[in-house]
C-alpha cells in the first residue's frame, strides 16, 4: 500500500503546486535552429513556458515569440542546471532579437547574422561571487537547481516576432533552460505536463550523468523524450493577416 500511496501523494502535491509556478515544459527533441528554424512558443508569449535545450559545439539555438500586441511584456531568463561538476564552467550566452531593440556595437562578435531592422539585447551568465560560488536558484516543482543569468524584462514596441537565441562559448556543450513569460495559464495537456515534471525530477532530461566525473566519456548520455512528445494539444492558432505580414517582414 505504501508503494502506491507515495506516488499518489506526490502527484497531488505537484498538481496543487502547479498553478503557482507552472512554466509549461518543452524539450529540444529536434534542433531549434537559430533564426531559420526556431522552436515557436505555440501560444501567447506572455504565458509561462520553459524550454529545455542542449547546445552542441558552435550551434545557435532559437526560440520564437510571436507578439500580437505592442506594449506586451517580454520576459526571458537563461538557466544552466547544476549537474555535479559538469557545468561549473559552462557559460552560454543568450540574446533577445527583435524590432525596436538597440543596435549592436559590434556584430562581428555574434555567431549569427542579425537580420536588417532588428536590434539585440545580449545576456551573459552571472559570474561567481567573492567566494567563488555561482549564483543559483532552486525550482521546486522540478526539484532542480540552476545557475542563473539576469532576467530580460522589456515591453515590445511592435506586434512582431521576437527571438531568443542561445549559444555556447569556447566550443562548450551542455544543457540549458530558458524560461519565458509570466502568466500562469495552462496550455499543454495535463498528462504532458505531469510526464515532463516526472522527467525533470528524475534528472534524465539532461545529457550528462551528474553522478559521474566530467572526464568520464560514459558521463555523456542521450535523454529519452518518448514520454513527453505529445507537447502540443492542438494546432497552433494562425496569426492574423496583419501579424503574419509583420512576422514575415521581421523574420526575413
The alpha carbon dihedral of 93, 99, 101, 104 has a sign of positive
Question: What is the distance, to the nearest Å, from the Cα of residue 36 to the centroid of all Cα atoms in its chain?
Answer: 17
CA gap 63, 72 in Å, rounded? 17
pLDDT one-digit tens code per residue, 128-167: 999 999 999 999 989 999 999 999 999 999 999 999 999 9
Provide CB contacts within 8 A for 174, sequence distance 6+.
54, 55, 80, 86, 87, 90, 92, 168, 207, 208
What are the pLDDT tens digits along the chain (252 aa)? 444 444 444 444 544 444 444 578 999 998 899 999 999 999 999 999 999 999 998 899 999 999 999 999 999 999 999 999 999 999 999 999 999 999 988 777 899 999 999 999 999 999 999 999 999 999 998 999 999 999 999 999 999 999 999 999 888 899 999 999 999 888 888 888 899 999 999 999 999 999 999 999 999 999 999 888 854 443 334 444 444 444 445 444
Domains and CATH numbers, the chain: 24-251 (2.60.120.380)
User: Of the candidates 58, 69, 28, which has an alpha carbon nearest to the alpha carbon of residue 206?
Assistant: 28
Amino acid at each position: 500500500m505504501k508503494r502506491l500511496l507515495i506516488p499518489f501523494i506526490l502527484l497531488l502535491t505537484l498538481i496543487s503546486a502547479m498553478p503557482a509556478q507552472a512554466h509549461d515544459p518543452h524539450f529540444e527533441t529536434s534542433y531549434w535552429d537559430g533564426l531559420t528554424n526556431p522552436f515557436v512558443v505555440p501560444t501567447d508569449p506572455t504565458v509561462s513556458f520553459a524550454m529545455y535545450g542542449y547546445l552542441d559545439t558552435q550551434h545557435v539555438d532559437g526560440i520564437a515569440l510571436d507578439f500580437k500586441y505592442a506594449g506586451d511584456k517580454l520576459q526571458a531568463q537563461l538557466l544552466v542546471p547544476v549537474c555535479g561538476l559538469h557545468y561549473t564552467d559552462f557559460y552560454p550566452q543568450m540574446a533577445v532579437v527583435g524590432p525596436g531593440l538597440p543596435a549592436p556595437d559590434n556584430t562581428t562578435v555574434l555567431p549569427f547574422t542579425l537580420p536588417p531592422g532588428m536590434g539585440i539585447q545580449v545576456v551573459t551568465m552571472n559570474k561567481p561571487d567573492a567566494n567563488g560560488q555561482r549564483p543559483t536558484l532552486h525550482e521546486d516543482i522540478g526539484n532542480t537547481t540552476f545557475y542563473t543569468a539576469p532576467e530580460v524584462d522589456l515591453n515590445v514596441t511592435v506586434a512582431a516576432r521576437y527571438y531568443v537565441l542561445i549559444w555556447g562559448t569556447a566550443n562548450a556543450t551542455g544543457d540549458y533552460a530558458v524560461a519565458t513569460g509570466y502568466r500562469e495559464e495552462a496550455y499543454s495537456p495535463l498528462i504532458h505536463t505531469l510526464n515532463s515534471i516526472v522527467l525533470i525530477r528524475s534528472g534524465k532530461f539532461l545529457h550528462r550523468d551528474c553522478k559521474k566525473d566530467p572526464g568520464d566519456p560514459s558521463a555523456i548520455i542521450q535523454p529519452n523524450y518518448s514520454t513527453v512528445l505529445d507537447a502540443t494539444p492542438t494546432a497552433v492558432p494562425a496569426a492574423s493577416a496583419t501579424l503574419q505580414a509583420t512576422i514575415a517582414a521581421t523574420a526575413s
